[in-house]
Amino acid sequence: MSPLAVFNPPLGPNPKYFMPEETTLTMKEKAFSLSGDDFTIKTTSGIDVCKCKGKMVSLHDSKEFVDPQGVHLFTLKNKLIALHKSFRAEGPDGKDLFTVKGHFSLMSSKSSCHFINASDGREMELDIKGDWFDRSANITCQGQPVATLSREFFNMREMFVDKQTYYVTVAPGVDLTLVAAVCICLDERENEK
């Protein structure tokens, strides 16, 4: 696979998580989580990026994203009234950082993500297309690749405790936490099926 092109200006709502180089994330779902929705998100070189903590009892099936020090980044919530499973990310100030909307698609998964770009204040849209037969997905912005996702096949965790490990290659200049959250939204949509 050829390297992903740099986004300039950088892309995403959280500038702290723009990386100058292509980064591959390892997203592991915790095997013995009470909520069933806890993920650790690290680079493949072992650097902690963030954690996603599912809330055990929550009307919106909320997931809290925190940085490695435990500082709250945003809360991902299911939209209760939506034709297709959709989510919104609420920042620490209570305002929406981004939304992920599901769209109808046969034999695949399609979604879009909307946010105001921190770099230039423009309204942006990401297109997410997943092929869950081969367990992969692509995220693009105006046709330019943002990230590619693949799932580890047939590991022991998946076979015995139904927990996933995802590998996500993210283009330089893209918010890693945004991409991680979009991937968790995809995982949620597929688990719903």
Structural domains of the chain ordered from first start: 15-192 (2.40.160.200)
Average pLDDT of the segment spanning 29-45: 75
pLDDT at position 83 is: 55
Buried b (16+ CB within 10 A) or exposed e, 175-188: bbbbbbbbbbbbbb
* pLDDT tens string 138-160: 999 999 999 999 876 545 444 44
As to burial, measured by CB atoms within 10 angstroms (0-12 exposed, 13-18 middle, 19+ buried), residue 170 is: buried
pLDDT at position 81 is: 59
pLDDT at position 160 is: 47
Alpha helices in the chain (DSSP H): 156-161, 176-192
pLDDT above 90 covers a percentage of the chain that reads 60
pTM comes to 0.87
pLDDT band at 34 (very low <50, low <70, confident <90, very high): very low
Supply the Cα-derived Rg of the chain in whole angstroms: 15
Buried b (16+ CB within 10 A) or exposed e, 93-125: eeeebbbbbbeeeeeebbbebebebbbeeeebe
Between CA 66 and CA 84 the distance in angstroms is 27
Q: Taking the mean position of all CA atoms in its chain, how far away is CA 113?
A: 10
pLDDT of 136 higher than 80: yes
Q: Identify which has the larger pLDDT, 88 or 189.
A: 88
